[in-house]
Amino acid sequence: MPKFVDQARIYVRAGDGGNGCVSFRREWRVPRGGPDGGDGGHGGDVIAVADPQVHTLLDFHYRQHFVAQRGGHGMGKGMRGRDGADCVLRVPVGTVILDEGGSVIADLNRPGHRVVIARGGRGGRGNARFATSTNQAPRRAEKGAPGEERWVRLELRLIADAGLVGLPNAGKSTLLSRVSAARPKIADYPFTTLEPHLGTVDLGEGRSFVIADIPGLIEGAHRGRGLGSEFLRHIKRTKVLVYLLDVGSPGADPVKALGILEEELARYDPELLSRPRLVVGNKTDLPDAAEGLGRLRQYLGDGERVFAISALRGEGIREVLWEIWRLLAQNSGRNTQMSAEGNAHGDPS
């Protein structure tokens, strides 16, 4: 399986412009032919393109230098040098390009989005361009301008409608495998998921959305502990956050877990706490689930609903999916028209 790489640092250099030419027309029976030096060609650009067929930044992990072709030099008989070929970098949709100072150069958030990240140099003018009535035999031409060069950082931020966040072993991967065709690794030990996974949820009748399983956060993730700091950037694009909490395992404390998640997200980006969210208690198939759910509901009070599911058995999941769809619709104007019966049962009629 290809390695998931979601950030890279690369050097890009556009092509230099070609030099203009100093030349004079020399032909039989054409005395005083005059200057005919052509212009140099423009250097190629370095262009980044969002390609939906590319899913990681793996290619930029192994190769760091990208150089466009320089422009050709001008020639006699007014011949212009050829333009240099562009260097095209194909990156995943959702890639953000930043300069060394951290400023965003471009956010390639839609398929086919193109941006020039290093512009090629202009070709120099040949001596034919400098001919005037008082200087009919100019012997000067311009050199081509150098192309731009810079180091840039590439960061992939997955484009998902909803993001699953939770402590390790909360059941995010199990839930994702239940609701979509994604098949993340599932096992009973922390940090089973070592990279984000995307899955498409199909609710029927053209209703679908993309959900992301973000690797487990732990306390101190924003400072680099665990895996959270590596993948917190992927939460930035999600419109709805699903806080998945273990309410049934022995010793599980869903209230503390929720506090840890809120703290880590706030320290990474306070704006994340203002996103629409669902609080979901998982593992209701275990004996201690009722107690865990009770403590969580008491903590949140009547102002926020706690959904109860068993990702392992598939219980309660459909209702959660329809609630995600409803929240997405409120923020994007999607059509969520359902019959009264479908809405009551968390399913379309």
Paired with 24 in beta bridges are 35
The domain locations on the chain are 1-156, 162-344
Q: Say what the pLDDT of residue 181 is.
A: 62
Reply yes or no on domain 1-156 having CATH 3.30.200.20: no
Q: Are 140 and 187 in contact (CB under 8 A)?
A: no
Read off the pLDDT of residues 137-188 as tens digits, 9 standing for 90 and up.
899 999 999 999 999 999 988 778 898 988 888 888 889 888 886 554 444 4
Q: Say what the pLDDT of residue 335 is.
A: 46
CATH number for 162-344: choose from 3.10.20.30, 3.20.20.60, 3.40.710.10, 3.40.50.300.
3.40.50.300
Largest CA distance in the chain: 105
Q: Are 126 and 23 in contact (CB under 8 A)?
A: yes
* b/e map 86-124, b = 16+ CB within 10 Å: bbebebbbbbbbbeeeeeeebbbeeeebebebbbbbbbb
Task: Kindly report which listed range (46-60, 80-94, 192-206, 231-245) carries the lowest average pLDDT score.
Answer: 192-206
Residue 202 has pLDDT above 90, yes or no: no
Percent pLDDT > 70 in the chain is: 84
Q: Say what the pLDDT of residue 231 is.
A: 62
Whole-Å CA distances, 5 to 57, 177, 194, 317: 5, 22, 11, 31
